[in-house]
Amino acid sequence: MPVATLVDVVASNDVDLANRSAYGQNALKELQLTDSASTTYTTLLKTNQTTAQTVLNQFFTKAGIDVLIASTQAYATAGYSALTLPLGLSKSGEPQGAILIDKYLDEPKLLALGYAIAQATRARKPPNLDATLATFTKLSQAAPKSP
C-alpha cells in the first residue's frame, strides 16, 4: 500500500497493527490533529530547538569536550549531528549502541572519532541476514493483502 501522507501511514498501519505499529498509533493520531502551520506550533518548535541547543552547548562548554556520549536523542531536537556506535549484542541478542553527539557543524571530528572507536573495539556484530529475511518473508506472507 503506497503512502504519501500521515493519514496514509495511519491507514496502512491499521491494516496490520500488530506488526506495523506494535506500540499503537496514539502519537501519529495526535500528530494528525496538529496544525503545523500555526504560530503557536512554530513558536514551540523554535523554543524546543533553542532549549536543546542551550543544554547541549552547556555540556560541551562546561566539560570542555568536543563529543558527548549519550543515550538521548536531544541532538535531533537541537539540529546537531550524531552517530550511533555499535557496541555488540545484549544477552538476548538485541543490538546495543552508544550515541556520539558532536558540536554544531563538527561532523568530520565526529566521524573520525566514531571510526577510531569502531576500529579499536571491533564491537559490531554483523546481523544474521538469513534469519532476518526469513522473518520478513513470514510477516509479508501473513499480512492481509490489499484489494
Cα 82-85-133 angle, rounded to 5 deg: 110
Distances (CA, A) of 50 to 7, 80, 98, 112: 30, 12, 24, 27
Asked if residue 27 has pLDDT above 80, the reply is yes
**What pLDDT is attached to residue 143?**
67
**Percentage of the chain modeled with pLDDT above 70:** 96
Annotate 102-128 with DSSP letters as a single string: E-TT-HHHHHHHHHHHHHHH-------
Q: How confident is the model at residue 89 (pLDDT cuts 50, 70, 90)?
A: confident
Residue with cell 541547543: 53
Q: How confident is the model at residue 139 (pLDDT cuts 50, 70, 90)?
A: confident
C-alpha cell, 47: 523554543
Q: How confident is the model at residue 60 (pLDDT cuts 50, 70, 90)?
A: very high
- Mean pLDDT over 19-46 rounds to 86
pTM for this one?
A: 0.61
**What pLDDT is attached to residue 146?**
62
**What pLDDT is attached to residue 70?**
82
